[in-house]
Amino acid sequence: MKFISKLLSICLLAAVAWQAVAEPVELDRVRVIVNDGVILQSDIDSTTKTLTANARKNNQELPSADIIQEQILDKLILEKLQLQEADRIGVRIDDTRLESTLNDIAKNNNQTIEQLRQTVREEGLTWEAFREQIRDEIAASEARNAMVRQRINILPAEVDNLAELLAKESDATVTYKIRHIQLRFNDGEDKSVQEKQAKELVTRLKAGEDFATMAYTYSKGPKALEGGDWGWMRKEEMPTIFADQIKMQTKGTIIGPFRSGVGFHILKIEDVKGLETVSVTEVNARHILIKPTVILSDEGVQRELNNIIKKIQSGDSTFAEMSEQYSQDPGSAVQGGELGYQTPELYVPEFKHQVETLPIGQISKPFKTVHGWHIVEVLDRRDVDKTGSAMQNRAYRILFNRKFNEEASAWSQELRASAFVEMVNSDEDEDNAN
């Protein structure tokens, strides 16, 4: 008993001594409760570092810290809700997908992965935190896309009507680089307050104040933390409220304020460019397909196809005759293996690569796709103006993009409105309040 008592005393003295010399460690704090999840102070700090680094890189002046924090909190709350949706519908981003995205990020910045790592460290972030931040962004985007697509309904008559309008236009399509500020209506507040503020902002913008800084400071729109930047868009790809306001204005034009159901809007046309026509290369090819079986292995199929190539090249038989006799693609076999003029995108990747790279008149070596083993010969290539025939597809894409932007905004607002969100004040905040 005395031994145990002595041992406990030694342990207690050691603990007291350790506490006396240990450095105090600040624990992470919960700042926002979002449904059954939380946003930590470290999440806010990480996003702030990234935003500040990007602004410094672009020589962009940011507004005050409290305004930036409000915008960051809005962004993180929406991302947390989207991640919860991703978890609910079973979205999982594996390491292979993540590594592919990180490689794309490095490539788009003209960097190697190691250079990207260094950039992340210079911004004050760990590589592990950056990886998980990107993983979350991919998952949130996947969830948003999946949920918003379910809300989009495009009627055939809509496509026909838009295709008819597009057909009347010139082949040239003007694209605009636009920025946007949205002043959101507040419940119970006189809407003239926002209108007055919007008019004041337009006056300041026309006097030369920076649009991006104004968007960071005042906008409640979806691109506020990007300085209101919507990038390059055709009119048909824009939300309807934008497209209705743009009437071939020139670079630098400030448009607005104009009103929608959610608030007042201001646009700036940062730049205008481009003529666009639809021209594609079509390939006329023919092939022979043989599928492996329990009896005929992959190696056996390759030998059979190589024997067919020898017969064609020696003149003992023609490609068409061999196709009719051996090909297991019934649709093309009766045509001597010919597939007709098609765009390469129609084919699976391995077949697409062959018809894009083979010289005309040359027979490929045997190659495998999901359908079996092939040999292929390119008979001809031609450039075709597809502006007319692609009009229906273009009309559909336009309608989809337009409705996607509108429905994505509505879905995000509904997600936020139905969520439980509670701000958690830190001790420091409480002390300041007292």
Is residue 26 included in any domain, yes or no? Answer: no
Does residue 325 share a domain with residue 233? Answer: no
CA distance 237 to 397: 8
Residue 278 pLDDT more than 60? no
Q: What is the pLDDT of residues 364-376, one digit of tens each?
A: 999 998 889 999 9
Looking up residue 346, the CATH number of its domain turns out to be 3.10.50.40
Contact 72, 48 (CB under 8 A): yes
Contact 336, 319 (CB under 8 A): yes
Q: What is the pLDDT of residues 383-432, one digit of tens each?
A: 875 655 567 777 888 898 888 888 888 888 888 888 898 888 755 554 44
Residue 46 pLDDT more than 50? yes
Residue 94 pLDDT more than 50? yes
Does residue 264 share a domain with residue 181? Answer: yes
Does residue 145 share a domain with residue 51? Answer: yes
Is residue 418 included in any domain, yes or no? Answer: yes
- pLDDT at position 322, please? 96
Point out the domain boundary residue: 233, 252, 274: 274
Looking up residue 117, the CATH number of its domain turns out to be 1.10.4030.10
Residue 14 pLDDT more than 90? no
Residue 11 pLDDT more than 70? no
Residue 212 pLDDT more than 70? yes
Does residue 78 share a domain with residue 61? Answer: yes
Q: Which of 324-328, 336-340, 404-408 has the lowest mean pLDDT?
A: 404-408
Does residue 178 share a domain with residue 95? Answer: no
- pLDDT at position 341, please? 92
Does residue 404 share a domain with residue 372? Answer: no
Residue 194 pLDDT more than 70? yes
Is residue 322 included in any domain, yes or no? Answer: yes
Report residue 171's pLDDT band, with 50, 70 and 90 as the boundaries.
very low
Point out the domain boundary residue: 227, 242, 274: 274
Is residue 12 included in any domain, yes or no? Answer: no
Structure tokens given for 280: 């594609």
- The DSSP secondary structure of 15-49, one letter per residue, reads HHHHHHHSPP-PPP-EEEEETTEEEEHHHHHHHHH
Is residue 83 included in any domain, yes or no? Answer: yes
Q: Counting every residue, how long is the chain?
A: 434
Point out the domain boundary residue: 239, 274, 309: 274
Is residue 31 included in any domain, yes or no? Answer: no
Is residue 16 included in any domain, yes or no? Answer: no
Give the chain's count of helices (H) and strands (E): 16, 11
Does residue 137 share a domain with residue 74? Answer: yes
Region 2-14: what's the mean pLDDT? 40
Residue 26: CA count within 13 A, CB half-sphere: 9
Is residue 13 included in any domain, yes or no? Answer: no
Contact 34, 80 (CB under 8 A): yes
User: Going by DSSP bridges, is the β-strand pair 421-423/175-184 parallel, antiparallel, or unpaired?
Assistant: unpaired
Does residue 419 share a domain with residue 365? Answer: no
Does residue 131 share a domain with residue 77? Answer: yes
Does residue 309 share a domain with residue 259? Answer: no
Does residue 359 share a domain with residue 288? Answer: yes
Residue 34 pLDDT more than 50? yes
Query: Among candidates 75, 81, 187, which has minimal Cα distance to 419?
Result: 81
- Per the structure, the complete domain to which residue 165 belongs is given by 156-170+391-434
- Looking at the 3D structure of the chain, how many domains does it have? 4
Does residue 163 share a domain with residue 187? Answer: no
- The DSSP secondary structure of 311-339, one letter per residue, reads HHHHTSS-HHHHHHHH-S-HHHHTTTTEE
Residue 201 pLDDT more than 80? yes
CA distance between the termini of the chain: 52
